[in-house]
Structure 1
């Protein structure tokens, strides 16, 4: 959902189906359309990306997006080359949706409150600047769900928070508060309340919108040069990895554990 509160500034709000703005199939279809339209709109000079309700996003809706795959690649399934090729195409489509944010020529400022989990972190990693309120919590949660994060956080965060912090967060799948996120550079600033956060994000967007749009777009293009080539290579690799190895007994256990609201018990099978 896009808004236009100030001249030259658009606000995109994540609005999920009552589950913390969880990223279901509709989200992945709408995101590239929205950012493609913003990129083409000459009246838009900067974008603020925020979540509606109490959270930014609780991440991928695993059951809705991957549920149909849980039984297709298991023991006893027929020859799987075509199915795995289709799965790779699905993953590449999710990746392209997030990349539409990074590719947008307008600067994108992510304003994060509440939970920002998994796919939410992938999404904000594609923004140009990240801000947070004090209640924000972040988690690269995928390893806890028996998944290799595959839509951008492992590739983009290396240049944002550095190798050591990225490896810690991705391998442990721990949750971190806004204060730690600011310390490691995941967010630039932390504000006491979500309203204060939104005001700051809109003010930053207005500052950018007041500048030459050609110069701002050119600056973003120059900053992206080289980095985006490395990211694209990493995304191709992880898409191949997950199309080969995503399905596992551990993944089935993770889905069951989520349904039962308990920690997963993993066996490495």
Structure 2
């Protein structure tokens, strides 16, 4: 099952599926393959009666660096062009909605998902873990809602789903500063349930919880998810629709070009509000 994908592998054992991000971008960065394949994979897992719980993790030293800007530049380029009119903005809006749907496929999966995070979890990585049911981390995990540092409003899930996970003050601090936080801080503010000594221990804990869930009656487990999700679906959907329209109108800026340029040049950006 896992051989069919470029950006992830899937292993199923005793009613538990493990989905592992494998790139191909550095740090499991989210390129075109990820955005295309993840919803297909989660749809297949959701439809498989033998899979009763899913563990989501990253290969190598990190969970995910987030959006692969180098590989996804073609998505941004048309709307960044000087004087971009309605057509490129509409096309960007369509692509953005599709990217939102990729993360929503995880949130809408009726099979519970437990994330095990080690190393960096940046930007799109936080969007992704905000869509799972339970989050565990290794002691070396670091998290950042970093979009603001690139002159972007996070638009594929963090700002829609984190309000249901974090208290308002903690969420705003993360989103407005773009700061990095360690695993201990993430646990303290409720971003993760528990912290474990290393990646192996975190992954083992995720599998243990997945097995515990898988031992419960599967239709009732789905029912619990369905009832819990009912309280948030409309709120999340409205937020995603709004930010897609907002970014289609306002994403393009000199500051965005500066933010991306500075990141690749490994220098501090100089933002002007243009």
**Counterpart selection for 2:106 from 82, 101, 109:** 101
Deviations 1:95-133 (A, max 9, x none): 000000010000000000000000000000000000000
Q: Tell me which residue corresponds to 1:210.
A: 215
The structural deviation recorded for 1:75 is 2.5
| Aligned 8 A contact 2:79 2:92 in 1 | no
Q: Equivalences for 1:166-185 in 2 at 5 Å? A: 166-185=171-190
* 1:55 and 2:62 aligned: yes
Deviations 1:28-83 (A, max 9, x none): 00000000000000000000000000000000012322345335543255xx1111
- Supply the distance in 2 between the matched residues of 1:112 and 1:62 (Cα, whole angstroms): 21
Change (3 A) 1:119 1:264: same
| Aligned 8 A contact 1:70 1:252 in 2 | no
* 1:136 and 2:141 aligned: yes
Q: Tell me which residue corresponds to 1:159.
A: 164
Deviations 1:151-198 (A, max 9, x none): 011110111112111100000000000000000000000000111111
Change (3 A) 1:259 1:7: same
* 1:3 and 2:11 aligned: yes
**Counterpart selection for 1:266 from 237, 250, 271:** 271
Deviations 1:224-243 (A, max 9, x none): 00301100000000000001
Give the gaps of 5 or more residues in structure 1: none
- Supply the distance in 2 between the matched residues of 1:154 and 1:253 (Cα, whole angstroms): 23
Q: Equivalences for 1:235-254 in 2 at 5 Å? A: 235-254=240-259
- Supply the distance in 1 between the matched residues of 2:25 and 2:235 (Cα, whole angstroms): 36
- Supply the distance in 2 between the matched residues of 1:202 and 1:74 (Cα, whole angstroms): 46
> How high is the TM-score relative to the length of structure 2?
0.95
Structure 1 runs (4+) greater than 4 angstroms displaced: none
- Supply the distance in 2 between the matched residues of 1:23 and 1:267 (Cα, whole angstroms): 29
> How high is the TM-score relative to the length of structure 1?
0.96
SS of equivalent to 1:247: coil
Change (3 A) 1:204 1:257: same
- Supply the distance in 1 between the matched residues of 2:226 and 2:125 (Cα, whole angstroms): 24
- Supply the distance in 2 between the matched residues of 1:220 and 1:18 (Cα, whole angstroms): 32
What is the Cα-based RMSD across aligned positions, in Å? 1.1
Give the gaps of 5 or more residues in structure 2: 1-8
SS of equivalent to 1:190: strand
Q: Tell me which residue corresponds to 1:198.
A: 203
